[in-house]
Structures are given as C-alpha cells and as structure tokens.
Structure 1
Amino acid sequence: MIGYPFYILNEVDSTNNYAMEMVNAGHVTSGTAWFTTNQTAGKGTRGKTWLAKPGDISALSVALQPSMLPLSRQFMLSIAVALAAADCFASYAGDETVIKWPNDIYWRDRKAGGILIENVLRGNIWQYAIIGIGFNVNQPSFPAELPNAVSLLQITGQKRESVDVAKNLCTHLNTRIQQIHPSNYEAMLEEYTSRLFRWQKPAMYKKDNEIFMGIIREIQPDGYMRLEKEDGSMLTLGFGEIEFLITR
C-alpha cells in the first residue's frame, strides 16, 4: 500500500534525497512515503531546483519496489504516476488538469506540479523506484521569473492542508499502480496520451534554436514523442530534447 508508513518531515533538502538515503540504508519497505511542506533544495527534472515558502507546497516521495514491471517497461510506471498525480490535482482543480509530456502537471497552460522518478539499480535488477511528486498548493503569487506557474489557491481561491493533499495523492497512486499489468499497458498509454497538454493541437516549439509549429501525434511505449512539424516532417524526441513555448 502506498503511504504505509507515512512520515512527515518538518524540513528536508529534498524528499527524494531523503528517500534515497533510507533505501540505501535498507530502512524501508515498499510503499513508504515521506512528506514535507518545506524543501530547502527541492529537485526537478534535468537538474532543475524547485523551491517554495514553507507551507506553500506538497512534496511527497514514495519508495516503491517495481516488481510488477521489467526495467525495459519503466515508462509504464511514469504513465501510472502521471495519471495518479493528474487524478489527484483534478479532484481539486477540475478537468482542465492535464499532463505535459513526459510528466509535469498543468492546469490549462500553467505548471501546477512536477514528477521526478529516480531508480535504484543493482546490476540489471530494478530494486527501487523513488517517486517524487510536488504540487503548488498555497502560493498566492509567483516571482516574475516563473510566469507560467499556478497554485491550487490561485485556481480555487481556497487554502488547503498540504498533508491532506499528499495523503489523497497516495490513494490515487495506489489505485494507478495496481493497474499496471501487461493486459492494461495499451489502455493506460491511450488514456495518458488523451490527457496530454496540447495533444493533437498545433502549438509552438523550440529545438536546437529553431522555433516552429508542431503537433504531438504519438507517444511511443518507450516514452518517446512523435511530433509532426508544419512542413509534414516527423521528429522522434526523447525527454528534454524539445522546449514547449507558451504564447499568450
């Protein structure tokens, strides 16, 4: 069960760092969760940092033994986690909640949360996945350098207890991870793509200093995205290889 046990940390550099330390020390069981509203050095994808005032965020990390998946199918875990995070955020913010490929949580065209999954390998054995999820919960505003961020407070006008959001997230994670089975791979991928930000819609992108119009046409089972450029050519893209441009 995800979230059993559930630890509350008053302050930590990163819940993912803390979870990794506990896994490496052998002090956890699968499903253990760590929560904080105060990360001093929160981690995002591709080395980015993620900071907020204490109490404004819900930062959760879960240590999971992914025995239901071979390492070659690790994108299925990313799909399940993204769907769970979107389910949870949508339970407060409504059906304008979407997933920005590969696994950011957006509300309309603004970033509301992010996911970072780090793996613990022993040779070719996928021993643990450290699943980190952060939501913007109670921020009344964001600095000018983050014009694309949004919080639940801004969306709904209501302050929330971040720990309650995190426990709700554990429930959604438990549901989605239990769905991971070869018989469900195709349906989960289809649902994931149908809930993507900009799915099948023309929008502006940037790659290698080139700005162009493109349409997301496919997400492959290994996580690669197929994007059709306005000239009809197709790009196959891995994580971090393209920038989504926001135009308003």
Structure 2
Amino acid sequence: MIGHPFYILDEIDSTNNYAMEQVNSGQVTSGTAWFTSNQTAGKGTRGKQWLAQPGDISALSIALQPAMLPLSRQFMLSISVALGTHDFLSSYAGDETIIKWPNDIYWRDRKAGGILIENVLRGNIWQYAIIGIGLNINQASFPADLPNAVSLRQITGKTRDAATLAKELCIALEKRIRQLHPAHYEEILDEYKAKLFRWQQPGLYRKDDEFFEGIIRDVLPDGHLCLEKEGKIMQLRFGEVEFIIAR
C-alpha cells in the first residue's frame, strides 16, 4: 500500500535523496512514503532544483518495488503516477488540471507540480523506483523568474494542510498503480494522452535553438513524443524539445 508507512520529515534537503538512502540501507518496504513541507534542495528533472519556502510545497517521495512492470515498461509507471497526481489535484483545482508531457502537472498553462522518478537497478532487475512529487500548495506568490508557476492556494483561494493532502495523494496513486496490468496498458496510455496539455492543438516549441509551431499527434509506449512540424512527424525524447509559453 502506497503511504504505509508514512513519515513526516521536519526538514530535509531532498525527499528523493532521503528515500534513496533508506532503500540502499535495506530498511524499507515497498510503498513507504516520506513527506516534508520544508525541502531545502529539492530535485527536479534534468538536474534542476525544485525550490520553495518552508510550508509552501508538498514534497513527497515513495519507494516502490515495481514488480508489476518489466524494466522495458518504465514509461507506464510514469504515466500512472502522472494520472494519479492529476486525479488528486483536479479534485481541488477542477477540470482545467492537465498533464504536460511527460509528467508535469499543469493548471491551464501554468505549472502546479512536477514528478521525478529515479530507479534502483541490480543488474537487469528493477529493484525500486523512487517516485518524487513536488506540488505547489500554499504559495501566495512566485518570483518573477517563475512566470508560469501556480499554487493550489492561488487557484482556490484557500490554504490547506500539506501533510493531509500528501496522504490523499498516496491514495490516488495507489488506485492508479493497481491498474498497471498488460491488459490495461493501451487504455491507460489513451487516457494519459487525452489529458495532455496541447493535445492535438498547435503550439510554439523550440528545438536546437529553432522556434516553430507544432502539434502533438501521439505519445508512444516508450515515452517518445510525436510532434508534427510542417506536415512531418518528429519522434522526440524528453529534453529534446522545449514548450514555449508566452506571457
């Protein structure tokens, strides 16, 4: 069960770092979760930092043994975590909650959260996935260099107890993880695509310092983004293209 046990940390550099240390020590069971509202050096994707003031962000990491998936199906776990996080946030923020490929959580065209999954491998055995989720919960405002960030407080006008929300998020993730079965892969992928930011809609992108208009046409089971540019389809890995959002 995801979130059993559930630990609250007063302050930590990164819940993912802490979870990784606990896994490597051999002292955890699958589903263990660690939460803090005071993360001093949180990790984002591609080495970026996820920074927040104390009490502002729900930083949650979960150690999961992905026995239900082969290593070749890593992207299905990413999809399921994104859908579970979307389920949770949309229950508060409404239908304008969406997923930006591959697994950022958006509200309208603004980022409300991010997901980072780090794997522990023993040879070809996928021993653990460390699932890190950062959600903007109680921020009243953001620095000028984060023009597209948004918090649940800004969306709803209410402050909330972040630890309580983190436990609710664990429940939402549990429901989605339980759906992971080969018979459901196609259905899960289709639902993920239907909730994507800019799905089948034109948008501005940048690749290799070139700006262009493109349309997301598909996402493949391995995670590649199929982006149409001038009538031709490009298959892109994460990090190869940037979404441009005008302000």
4+ runs deviating over 6 angstroms: none
| Aligned equivalents of 2:41, 2:246: Cα separation in 1 | 30
Match of residue 236 from structure 2: 237
Shift of 1:143: 0.2
| Aligned equivalents of 1:39, 1:73: Cα separation in 2 | 30
Match of residue 62 from structure 2: 62
| Aligned equivalents of 1:94, 1:2: Cα separation in 2 | 24
Match of residue 215 from structure 2: 215
| Aligned equivalents of 1:160, 1:91: Cα separation in 2 | 14
Question: Secondary structure, in 3 states, of the residue corresponding to 1:189?
Answer: helix
Match of residue 96 from structure 2: 96
| Aligned equivalents of 1:19, 1:156: Cα separation in 2 | 31
After superposition, what is the alpha-carbon deviation per residue over 1:127-171, rounded to whole angstroms, capped at 9, x for unaligned?
A: 000000010000000000000000000000000000011001000
Shift of 1:233: 1.5
- Letter of the 1:211 partner, please give it: F
| Aligned equivalents of 2:11, 2:92: Cα separation in 1 | 26
Shift of 1:247: 1.8
| Aligned equivalents of 2:95, 2:239: Cα separation in 1 | 26
Shift of 1:50: 0.6
Gaps of 5+ in 1: none
Gaps of 5+ in 2: none
TM-score by length of 1: 0.99
TM-score by length of 2: 0.99
Match of residue 24 from structure 1: 24
- Letter of the 2:81 partner, please give it: V
Match of residue 50 from structure 2: 50
Match of residue 33 from structure 1: 33
| Aligned equivalents of 2:52, 2:177: Cα separation in 1 | 28
Match of residue 197 from structure 1: 197
Question: Secondary structure, in 3 states, of the residue corresponding to 1:200?
Answer: coil
Match of residue 76 from structure 1: 76
| Aligned equivalents of 1:54, 1:162: Cα separation in 2 | 11
Shift of 1:29: 0.1
Shift of 1:234: 1.3
| Aligned equivalents of 1:68, 1:74: Cα separation in 2 | 11
| Aligned equivalents of 1:90, 1:66: Cα separation in 2 | 26
Question: Secondary structure, in 3 states, of the residue corresponding to 1:23?
Answer: helix
Name the % identity: 72
Root-mean-square deviation over aligned CA pairs: 0.5
Shift of 1:31: 0.2
